[in-house]
Structure 1
Amino acid sequence: MFFRWDKEALLTKVAERDPDSVLKQAGVAVSGSCSGCSGSGPPGSSSTCQVCFTEVEPGETTTMDCGHTFCNECWRQHIKVQIGEGQARTIRCMSHKCGVVCDEEKVCTLLRSNSACTSCASTAAGSAAAGSGASGSGASSSGASGSGAGAAGAAGAGTSSGGGEADALSKYKQSLALSYVEDNSRVNFCPSVPWCGHAIQVDGDPFVEPECKCGKVFCFKCLKDPHTPCTCKMWDEWDEKIHGDSETRNWFMANTKPCPKCSKPVEKNGGCNLVMCKCGQAFCWLCGAATGTAHTWQKIEGHSCGRWKDEMDRKIDAAARNHKRYMHYFERYKLHMDSYGKEGEKRALLLKRIGEMVETGIEARDYTWLVRALDQLKVARGVLSNSYAFAYFFFGGEMYKEDFTEEDNKRNQDLFEEQQQRLEGEVERLSGLVEECSESLTIDAEARVRVINSTVSIESRIVKFFEMIETDLYGRLQSCSAQIAVYRPKRNLVA
Structure 2
Amino acid sequence: MDSDEEYLYDCDSGNESSGDDVGLEFEIEGEGESGSSRYRETTENYPYEVLSTEDITRHMIDCIKEVNSVVNIPVTTTRILLNHFKWDKEKLMERFYDGDQEKLFSEAHVVSPFKTPSKSQRVPVKTSNGMEECEICFLNMPSAMMTGIECGHRFCTNCWTEYLTTKIIDEGMGQTISCAAHSCSILVDDHTVMRLIVDPKVKLKYQHLITKSFVECNRLLRWCPYPDCNYAIKVQYPDVQPVMCKCRNVFCFNCGENWHDPVKCHLLRHWIKKCDDDSETSNWIAANTKECPKCKVTIEKDGGCNHMVCKNQSCKADFCWVCLGPWEPHGSSWYSCNRYDEDEAKQARDAQEKSRAALQRYLFYCNRYMNHMQSLKFEHKLYASVKEKMEEMQQHNMSWIEVQFLKKGCRHPV
- TM-score above 0.5: yes
Structure 1 residue corresponding to 2:301, chosen from 252, 258, 266: 266
Match of 1:225 in 2: 258
- Residue 286 of structure 2 aligns to which amino acid in structure 1? M
Per-residue deviation at 1:23? 0.7
Match of 1:276 in 2: 306
**In structure 2, how many angstroms separate the alpha carbons of the residues matched to 1:103 and 1:263?**
58
Match of 2:372 in 1: 336
**In structure 1, how many angstroms separate the alpha carbons of the residues matched to 2:275 and 2:206?**
42
Per-residue deviation at 1:191? 1.0
Structure 2 unpaired stretches of 5+: 1-82, 311-317
**In structure 2, how many angstroms separate the alpha carbons of the residues matched to 1:260 and 1:246?**
23
Match of 2:84 in 1: 2
**In structure 2, how many angstroms separate the alpha carbons of the residues matched to 1:210 and 1:254?**
42
Residues 257 and 267, structure 1, Cα contact 8 Å, conserved in 2: no
**In structure 2, how many angstroms separate the alpha carbons of the residues matched to 1:318 and 1:98?**
56
**In structure 2, how many angstroms separate the alpha carbons of the residues matched to 1:283 and 1:188?**
59
Residues 83 and 171, structure 1, Cα contact 8 Å, conserved in 2: no
Aligned to 1:49, what secondary structure does the other structure show?
strand
Per-residue deviation at 1:189? 1.8
Structure 1 residue corresponding to 2:175, chosen from 73, 89, 92: 89
Aligned to 2:243, what secondary structure does the other structure show?
coil
Structure number with the higher strand fraction is: 2
Aligned to 1:29, what secondary structure does the other structure show?
coil
Aligned to 1:215, what secondary structure does the other structure show?
coil
Aligned-residue Cα RMSD (Å) equals 4.5
Per-residue deviation at 1:183? 4.2
- Residue 341 of structure 1 aligns to which amino acid in structure 2? K
Structure 2 residue corresponding to 1:49, chosen from 126, 132, 136: 132
Aligned to 2:378, what secondary structure does the other structure show?
helix
Residues 231 and 245, structure 2, Cα contact 8 Å, conserved in 1: yes
**In structure 2, how many angstroms separate the alpha carbons of the residues matched to 1:256 and 1:102?**
59
**In structure 1, how many angstroms separate the alpha carbons of the residues matched to 2:98 and 2:394?**
66
- Residue 22 of structure 1 aligns to which amino acid in structure 2? L
Residues 252 and 260, structure 2, Cα contact 8 Å, conserved in 1: yes
Is residue 190 of structure 1 aligned with residue 224 of structure 2?
A: yes
Structure 1 residue corresponding to 2:212, chosen from 170, 178, 187: 178
Residues 160 and 196, structure 2, Cα contact 8 Å, conserved in 1: no
CA shift in 2, pair 1:346/1:279, >3 Å? farther
**In structure 1, how many angstroms separate the alpha carbons of the residues matched to 2:164 and 2:150?**
18
**In structure 2, how many angstroms separate the alpha carbons of the residues matched to 1:263 and 1:97?**
53
Per-residue deviation at 1:11? 5.5
Per-residue deviation at 1:241? 4.3
Residues 40 and 69, structure 1, Cα contact 8 Å, conserved in 2: no
Q: Deviations over 1:207-241 (max 9, x none)?
A: 55433232222244543223354444432332344
Report matched runs for 1:45-194 at 5 Å.
47-51=130-134, 52-56=139-143, 64-66=149-151, 68=152, 74-75=156-157, 77-86=159-168, 87-93=173-179, 99-111=185-197, 164-193=198-227
**In structure 1, how many angstroms separate the alpha carbons of the residues matched to 2:218 and 2:326?**
61
Is residue 318 of structure 1 aligned with residue 354 of structure 2?
A: yes
Per-residue deviation at 1:260? 6.0
Match of 2:287 in 1: 254
Residues 92 and 99, structure 1, Cα contact 8 Å, conserved in 2: yes
CA shift in 2, pair 1:371/1:197, >3 Å? same
**In structure 1, how many angstroms separate the alpha carbons of the residues matched to 2:100 and 2:398?**
73
Structure 1 unpaired stretches of 5+: 112-163, 270-274, 378-429, 434-495
CA shift in 2, pair 1:303/1:350, >3 Å? same
**In structure 1, how many angstroms separate the alpha carbons of the residues matched to 2:365 and 2:178?**
55
Identity score, percent:
23
Residues 225 and 256, structure 2, Cα contact 8 Å, conserved in 1: yes
Match of 1:487 in 2: none
TM-score, normalising length: structure 1: 0.49
CA shift in 2, pair 1:89/1:343, >3 Å? closer
**In structure 2, how many angstroms separate the alpha carbons of the residues matched to 1:167 and 1:334?**
43
Report matched runs for 1:349-388 at 5 Å.
349-352=385-388, 366-374=402-410, 376=411
TM-score, normalising length: structure 2: 0.57
**In structure 2, how many angstroms separate the alpha carbons of the residues matched to 1:69 and 1:259?**
65
Give the number of equivalent residue pairs. Answer: 307
CA shift in 2, pair 1:306/1:11, >3 Å? same
CA shift in 2, pair 1:88/1:367, >3 Å? closer
**In structure 2, how many angstroms separate the alpha carbons of the residues matched to 1:283 and 1:90?**
63
**In structure 1, how many angstroms separate the alpha carbons of the residues matched to 2:97 and 2:331?**
80
**In structure 1, how many angstroms separate the alpha carbons of the residues matched to 2:87 and 2:142?**
41
Structure 2 residue corresponding to 1:239, chosen from 272, 290, 293: 272
Is residue 307 of structure 1 aligned with residue 364 of structure 2?
A: no
Per-residue deviation at 1:26? 2.0
- Residue 78 of structure 1 aligns to which amino acid in structure 2? W
Per-residue deviation at 1:246? 3.9
Structure with larger Rg:
1
Structure number with the higher helix fraction is: 1
- Residue 265 of structure 1 aligns to which amino acid in structure 2? E
Aligned to 1:201, what secondary structure does the other structure show?
strand
Match of 1:404 in 2: none
Q: Deviations over 1:230-273 (max 9, x none)?
A: 4444323323445666445434533555676995313699xxxx
CA shift in 2, pair 1:172/1:266, >3 Å? closer
- Residue 258 of structure 2 aligns to which amino acid in structure 1? D
Q: Deviations over 1:403-445 (max 9, x none)?
A: xxxxxxxxxxxxxxxxxxxxxxxxxxx3xx3xxxxxxxxxxxx
CA shift in 2, pair 1:20/1:290, >3 Å? same
Aligned to 1:200, what secondary structure does the other structure show?
strand
- Residue 214 of structure 2 aligns to which amino acid in structure 1? Y
- Residue 266 of structure 1 aligns to which amino acid in structure 2? K
CA shift in 2, pair 1:243/1:103, >3 Å? closer
Per-residue deviation at 1:347? 3.0
Aligned to 1:336, what secondary structure does the other structure show?
helix
